[in-house]
Chains A and B, each alone.
Chain A
Amino acid sequence: MNQLRGKAWKFGDDIDTDAIIPARYLNTSDPRELAAHCMEDADPSFAGRVQPGDIIVAGKNFGCGSSREHAPIAIKAAGVSCVIAASFARIFYRNAFNIGLPIFESPEAAAKIQEGDEVAVDVESGTITNLTRNEQYRATPVPPFMQEIIAAGGLINYVARRLNG
Chain B
Amino acid sequence: MPMTITEKILAAHAGLDRVEPGQLINVRVDLVLGNDITAPVAIKEFRRIGVEKVFDRERVVLVPDHFVPNKDIKSAEQAKILRDFARQQQLTHYFEVGRMGIEHCLLPEQGLVGPGDVVIGADSHTCTYGALGAFATGVGSTDLAAAMALGEIWLKVPESIKFVYYGELQPWVGGKDLILYTIGQIGVDGALYQAMEFTGPAIETLSMDGRLTMANMAVEAGAKNGIVPPDEITLDYVKGRARRPYRVYQSDPDARYARVYEFDVSKLEPQVAFPHLPSNVRPVSQAGHVEIQQVVIGSCTNGRLEDLRLAARVLQGKKVHPDVRLIVIPGTQEVYRTALKEGLIEIFIDAGAAVSTPTCGPCLGGHMGILAAGERCLATTNRNFVGRMGHPESEVYLSNPAVAAASAILGRIAAPQEVL
B140 — which chain A residues lie within 8 A by C-beta?
A: 67-69, 72, 91, 94-95, 98-99
A162 and B224 alpha carbons, distance in the complex (Å)? 26
Q: Which one of A60, A87, A94, A159 contacts B150 once the chains associate, using CB atoms below 8 Å?
A: A159
Q: With contacts A67-B124, A163-B50 known, is A90 near B386, CB below 8 A?
A: no
Are B222 and A90 in touch, CB under 8 angstroms? yes
Are A145 and B41 in touch, CB under 8 angstroms? no
Q: With contacts A89-B222, A95-B142 known, is A60 near B189, CB below 8 A?
A: yes
Are A160 and B193 in touch, CB under 8 angstroms? no
A118 and B370 alpha carbons, distance in the complex (Å)? 40
Contacts of B379-415 to chain A: CB distance below 8 A: 383, 385-388, 390, 392
B188 interfacial by beta-carbon distance below 8 Å: yes
A28 — which chain B residues lie within 8 A by C-beta?
A: 74, 78
Q: How many A-B residue pairs have CB under 8 A?
A: 145
Are B365 and A22 in touch, CB under 8 angstroms? yes
Minimum CB distance partner of A162 in chain B: B150
Q: With contacts A41-B392, A61-B192 known, is A24 near B74, CB below 8 A?
A: no
> Smallest Cβ distance from B387 to chain A, in angstroms?
4
A2 interfacial by beta-carbon distance below 8 Å: no
Q: With contacts A14-B189, A28-B74 known, is A91 near B124, CB below 8 A?
A: yes
Are B365 and A19 in touch, CB under 8 angstroms? no
A26 and B123 alpha carbons, distance in the complex (Å)? 13
Q: With contacts A68-B37, A160-B48 known, is A89 near B192, CB below 8 A?
A: yes
B145 — which chain A residues lie within 8 A by C-beta?
A: 156, 159
Could you list 25 A-B pairs, sorted by A, with CB under 8 Å?
A14-B189, A18-B365, A42-B386, A61-B222, A64-B189, A65-B219, A65-B383, A66-B123, A66-B124, A67-B139, A69-B122, A89-B222, A91-B124, A91-B219, A94-B140, A95-B142, A95-B143, A98-B143, A99-B142, A145-B24, A156-B45, A156-B48, A156-B49, A163-B51, A164-B50
Extra pairs beyond A23-B365, A95-B139 (8, CB < 8 Å): A19-B385, A26-B67, A27-B72, A27-B74, A44-B392, A99-B140, A145-B154, A159-B145
Q: B-side interface residues toward A, CB under 8 Å?
A: 24, 37-38, 40-41, 44-45, 48-51, 66-67, 71-72, 74-75, 78, 121-124, 126, 138-143, 145-146, 149-150, 154, 188-189, 192-193, 219, 222, 224, 277, 364-366, 370, 383, 385-388, 390, 392
